[in-house]
């Protein structure tokens, strides 16, 4: 059957994914597909007859080769969101020019052939010869070399979204056609590129007296993103509009080929975005006329201490429904927050408690930052000189000093805002106190429910519960088998870490009937231990642990068990994933020792990296491969996988393209929510790959088997 699958895939031409997508998706889900079809694992590596490891095995990637080899490291993947991230990289460069005061308009166009053109009236990319690379213009250096640009110091930009010098070069690497026009010093220049390499020399097109700035045209490479990948006009429209909100001094002009816009779409083929009131306009558009606790929002701008930058903020407190919080740094959306959000939280909570104390409200002392922030509508934007982000996709700001700067700047404004209108401030204070009291009541009820659940659990010898009474800071490790459970129990922190061993693979809940699910002991043990119910009866407030951690062996069987568990949580307890409570532990696969030096490797690639760094030149390197967590000594399991100070966890999340693209669901149009949200797409994928019908899985294998390596037939 497998041989037929491989041969059939050789001539199957109509494949919707790029090569990188096919291989990545296949490797992720094939564990379940192979088990369901009772087929051998395509990714099970055969022992190599030649165990030699020499200098000839070491590859050196030059220029932009690393980007094409591992695009996920630079743009987060090769899906639609990643492709749209390319637009963000170029648009951010133009926004940096605007924020620096050198441009006042930006134009973004989407052509019928799926090409993007972004134009601004800034200073234009320098085109003179680079002093370090004779014969190459600065333009060519910027477009073809990683970590090149004018944003490493504050000489050219006081604040900027770019700091790694990789943005536009990554766009070049992942485009099959790209050209840049620069109008500078009353002259027009042009150079073309493809897949990271220049295809023409820098051309001088002649004089241009009434033009300046940079024009960037690019077409995404189908070899990376797939032949059917297309930019979505609604996504780009929202991206352009959100950028205009973040800097009131810029006008963004949107253009799109009318043929690309559906008849029922709410977006226009041509529109100009300019918002003089910045975040305040953003907040009003996001609230959609929702009623608020007090009429007047808290908003304003402030300079940061020591001339380190500035902050803009807009906060309102709706009376009902969910709130939202969106933060930005140098116009870059920080979807995972960061130190600037921490500064805002601290400022609001300190100020409101102090106001309560000043007005004689003793209950104000119980107010926490969560009481103020939860349910609030919050927009926060900072502009700082040297931002430090987590990763190239810049989803979290990590400058520690920003917390103090933002805290001090906003607290002063909030103090004055509260004292300027006592009637509104007292109304807000009372509403927040009521939230705090409700939080305390829920906490007490939850603690009591947890105690009751512990007494009712009939899991003798299975659940080793933690001793802490409330859920805050607690963790439940779901482990594979009693052997691993024994090691985990010895290595855990008893106060906060609970262990639940499962016997083998749990039931595939997608293909099973409800009667089978109810009758399955492993699933029922898991449901009882979590205490929050399933399906329509699920209640996140009753979840007995703050983190649910799937800890399985670092092999194919372990990945299969993890896939089944994630499927169970997705179908039965989806709000738990959406709230960020589900994690995957990352146990090591190898332990390397040479003398007194030891290190752990999570996979073969990491092992090779350690051999070339930590153990380079060292002799007698002993390498041991862990067969399972049950064979790992408790001390090593604790050090590598369970200790919060030394371990690595992967948070399980659902795709949120709206946030990744810098949009907000509050201002997104209906068609954007439908195309970006991806909920139906996820449900369809889970059903096809985990459902009763094996044909979609078999078809997937047929379409992608030719891209598998190390096939054992």
Distance between CA 298 and CA 316 in Å, rounded?
6
CA distances from 503 to 480, 522, 544, 629 (A): 7, 7, 22, 14
Cα dihedral value 694, 700, 703, 707, nearest 10: -120
* CA separation for the pair 433, 414 (Å, rounded): 17
Burial of 136: CB neighbours in 10 Å, binned 0-12, 13-18, 19+: middle
The phi, psi pair for 129, rounded to 5°, reads: -65, 135
Q: What is the DSSP annotation of 236-260?
A: HHHHHHHHHHH-TT-EEEEEE-GGG
Q: How many whole angstroms separate alpha carbon 327 and alpha carbon 341?
A: 7
> What Cα–Cα distance (Å) separates residue 238 from each residue in 84, 242, 673?
12, 6, 11
- Give the angle 557-561-563 at the CA atoms, nearest 5°: 115
Q: Which residue has the tokens 């933060």?
A: 327
Burial-class residue 450 by CB neighbours within 10 Å (0-12, 13-18, 19+).
buried
Residue 621: strand, helix, or coil: coil
Distance of CA 574 to the CA centre of its chain: 18
Instruction: Point out which residues pair with 182 in neighbouring strands.
Output: 189, 214
Per residue, the 3-state secondary structure of 393-452, as one string, reads CCCCECCHHHHHHHHHHHHHHHHHHHHHCHHHHHHHHHHHHHHHHHHHHHHHHHHHHHHH
- Cα dist from 471 to 447, 449, 549, whole Å: 8, 11, 14
CA dist., res. 678 & res. 667, Å (int): 17
Sign of the C-alpha dihedral, residues 232, 234, 235, 239? positive
The catalytic residues are 480, 553, 555, 557
Give yes or no for a contact between 705 and 41, defined as CB atoms under 8 angstroms apart: no
With a CB cutoff of 8 Å and minimum separation 6, the contacts of 352 are 364, 367, 372, 414, 418, 428, 429, 432
């Amino acid at each position: 059957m497998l041989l037929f699958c491989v041969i059939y895939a050789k001539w199957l031409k109509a494949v919707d994914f790029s090569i990188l997508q096919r291989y990545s998706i296949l490797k992720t889900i094939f564990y379940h597909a192979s088990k369901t079809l009772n087929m051998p694992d395509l990714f099970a590596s055969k022992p190599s007859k030649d165990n030699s490891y020499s200098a000839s095995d070491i590859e050196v990637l030059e220029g932009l080769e690393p980007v094409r080899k591992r695009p996920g490291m630079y743009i987060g993947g090769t899906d639609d969101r990643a492709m749209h991230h390319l637009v963000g990289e170029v648009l951010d460069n133009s926004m940096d020019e605007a924020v620096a005061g050198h441009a006042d308009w930006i134009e973004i166009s989407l052509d019928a052939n799926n090409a993007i053109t972004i134009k601004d009236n800034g200073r234009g990319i320098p085109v003179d010869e680079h002093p370090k690379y004779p014969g190459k213009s600065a333009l060519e250096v910027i477009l073809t070399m990683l970590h090149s640009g004018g944003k490493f110091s504050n000489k050219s930009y006081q604040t900027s979204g770019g700091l790694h010098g990789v943005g536009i070069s990554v766009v070049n690497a992942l485009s099959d056609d790209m050209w840049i026009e620069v109008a500078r010093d009353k002259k027009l220049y042009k150079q073309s590129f493809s897949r990271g390499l220049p295809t023409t020399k820098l051309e001088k097109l002649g004089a241009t007296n009434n033009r300046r700035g940079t024009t960037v045209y690019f077409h995404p490479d189908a070899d990376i993103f797939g032949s059917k990948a297309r930019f979505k006009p609604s996504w780009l429209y929202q991206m352009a509009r959100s950028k205009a909100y973040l800097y009131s001094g810029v006008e963004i002009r949107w253009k799109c080929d009318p043929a690309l816009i559906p008849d029922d779409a709410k977006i226009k083929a041509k529109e100009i975005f300019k918002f003089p009131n910045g975040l305040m306009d953003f907040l009003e558009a996001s609230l959609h006329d929702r009623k608020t606790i007090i009429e007047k929002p808290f908003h304003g701008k402030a300079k940061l201490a020591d001339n380190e930058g500035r902050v803009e903020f807009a906060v309102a407190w709706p009376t009902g429904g969910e709130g939202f919080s969106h933060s930005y740094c140098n116009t870059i959306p920080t979807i995972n927050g960061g130190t600037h959000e921490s500064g805002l939280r601290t400022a609001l909570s300190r100020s409101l408690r102090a106001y309560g104390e000043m007005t004689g409200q003793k209950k104000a002392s119980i107010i926490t930052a969560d009481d103020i922030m939860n349910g609030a509508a919050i927009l926060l934007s900072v502009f700082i000189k040297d931002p430090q982000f987590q990763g190239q996709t810049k989803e979290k700001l990590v400058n520690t000093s920003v917390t103090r700067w933002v805290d001090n700047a906003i607290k002063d404004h909030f103090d004055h805002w509260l004292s300027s209108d006592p009637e509104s401030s007292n109304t807000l204070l009372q509403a927040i106190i009521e939230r705090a009291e409700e939080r305390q009541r829920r906490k007490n009820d939850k603690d009591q429910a947890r105690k009751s659940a512990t007494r009712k659990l009939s899991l003798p010898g299975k659940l080793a519960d933690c001793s802490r009474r409330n859920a805050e800071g607690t963790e439940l490790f779901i482990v594979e088998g009693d052997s691993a459970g024994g090691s985990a129990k010895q290595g855990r922190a008893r106060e906060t870490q609970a262990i639940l061993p499962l016997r083998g693979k749990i039931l595939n809940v997608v293909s099973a009937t409800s009667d089978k699910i109810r009758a399955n002991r492993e699933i029922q043990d898991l449901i009882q231990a979590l205490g929050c119910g399933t399906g329509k009866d699920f209640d996140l407030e009753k979840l007995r642990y703050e983190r649910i951690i799937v800890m399985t062996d670092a092999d194919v069987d372990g990945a299969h068990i993890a896939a089944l568990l994630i499927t169970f949580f997705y179908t039965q307890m989806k709000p738990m994933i959406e709230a960020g409570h589900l994690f995957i532990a990352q146990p090591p696969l190898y332990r390397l020792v040479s003398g007194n030096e030891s290190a752990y490797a999570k996979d073969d690639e990491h092992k090779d990296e350690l051999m070339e760094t930590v153990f380079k030149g060292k002799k007698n390197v002993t390498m041991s491969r862990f067969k399972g967590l049950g064979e790992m000594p408790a001390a090593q399991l604790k050090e590598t996988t369970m200790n919060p100070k030394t371990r690595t966890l992967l948070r399980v999340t659902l795709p949120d393209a709206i946030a990744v693209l810098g949009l907000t669901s509050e201002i997104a149009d209906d068609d954007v929510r439908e195309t970006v949200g991806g909920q139906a797409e996820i449900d369809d994928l889970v059903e096809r790959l985990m459902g009763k019908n094996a044909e979609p899985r078999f078809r997937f294998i047929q379409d992608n088997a030719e891209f598998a390596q190390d096939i054992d037939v």
